Structure 1
Amino acid sequence: MDLSQINPILLVASLMVAATPILLAAIGELVVERAGVLNLGVEGMMITGAICGFAVAVETGSPWLGFLAAAIGGAALSFLFVILTQFALANQVASGLALTLFGLGLSSLLGQSYVGIKPPPTPDLHIPLLSDIPILGPVVFSHDLILYLGIAIVAGVWALLKFTRAGLIMRAVGENHDAAHALGYKVVRIRVMAILFGGACAGLGGAYISLVRVPQWTEGMTAGVGWIALALVVFASWKPWRVLLGAYLFGGITVLQLNLQAAGVAIPVEYLAMSPYVITIVVLVILSADKSRAPGSLGRIFHATS
Structure 2
Amino acid sequence: MLDLIQAALIRRRSLLENLQAESSDCYRLFHGINEGVPGLTVDRYGPQLLIQTFHEPVSSGDCELIHAAVEAFLNCALEMLYSDRSSANSRRSDDYRVDSWEGIAHELGVSYRVKGKHKGQDPLLFLDMRAGRRWIQQNASGKSVLNLFSYTCGVGVVAAVAGATRVLNVDFSTRSLDIGRENARLNHLNDQQIDFFQSDFFTAAKQLANIPVKQRLGRGRKPKPFPHIAKEQFDLVFLDPPRWAKSAFGTVDLIRDYPSVLKLALLATKLGGQLLCANNVASVTYEEWLAIVLRCADKAGCPVKRVTRLEPESDFPSPDGQFPLKLVVLQL
Please indicate the TM-score interval, normalised by the length of the shorter structure.
Answer: under 0.3
TM-score normalised by L of structure 1: 0.21
TM-score normalised by L of structure 2: 0.20
Structure with larger RCO (C-alpha < 8 A, sep 6+): 1
Higher strand fraction (1 or 2)? 2
